[in-house]
Amino acid sequence: MNENYFGDEKLVYIYKTTQNIRGYYTYELLFSDKADEIDNMDWSEAPVFDNCNPPDEKLVTTTITAKSEDDLSVVTFSDFDTDDLLYNFSFYDVCDGILAMAWKKTFEDKDPYRLVLKFGDDLKIVRKKLIDHEFEINE
């Protein structure tokens, strides 16, 4: 797991919806104060996007809804080609930091840095990253 702990609540899962009529994507980011206790049987199966159910809702302590025109790649959302390397990875590889949970596909001049969200990232840091990249967030 990510050793970069600053607070109690850690990022444990991201849902992604398809693009709406206004061109916005919606993401639900789930956080837990018991990230080290989360374990799903299907998380060891590959590929990650076909075998990854969210953690038990009893372990989720905060949910942030974020909207943006930015189309993030999210490992739990199947928008990858069949030849993609992600077919070789499970969600445990995400938990171990081998893969990010989500990342911005492109880097633009207006961006302060490339947006990357990892399992175990602190809630406050994730919130700051989303604001830095001009996401609308609701808690």
Q: What is the pLDDT of residues 30-83, one digit of tens each?
A: 999 988 777 665 565 655 565 577 888 888 999 999 999 988 888 877 555 544
- C-alpha span between 11 and 116 (Å, rounded): 12
Query: Tell me, what's the pLDDT at 48?
Result: 59
3 lies in a domain?
Answer: no
Examine residue 36 and state whether it is found in any structural domain, yes or no. Answer: yes
- Tell me, yes or no, whether 68 lies in a domain: yes
Q: Tens of pLDDT along 12-32?
A: 989 888 788 988 999 999 999
Give the pLDDT confidence score for residue 82 in this predicted structure. Answer: 45
Q: How far is it, in rounded angstroms, from Cα 103 to Cα 99?
A: 10
Closest CA to 81 of 46, 115, 49: 49
3-class DSSP assignment, residue 88 = helix
Residue 22 placed within a domain: yes
| Residue 2 pLDDT | 43
| pLDDT band at residue 100 under the 50/70/90 scheme | confident
Q: Give the total number of structural domains in the chain.
A: 1
Residue ranges making up the domain that contains 33: 10-138
Query: In what order do the strands lie in the sheet containing 10-16?
Result: 10-16, 25-32, 62-68, 136-138
- Mean predicted confidence (pLDDT) in 90-103: 79
Identify the CA nearest to 91 among candidates 52, 63, 41: 52
| pLDDT-based confidence at residue 5 (cuts at 50, 70, 90) | very low
Give counts: helices (H), strands (E), the chain. 2, 7
Residue of higher predicted confidence among 6 and 70: 70
Asked whether residue 88 is domain-assigned, the answer is yes
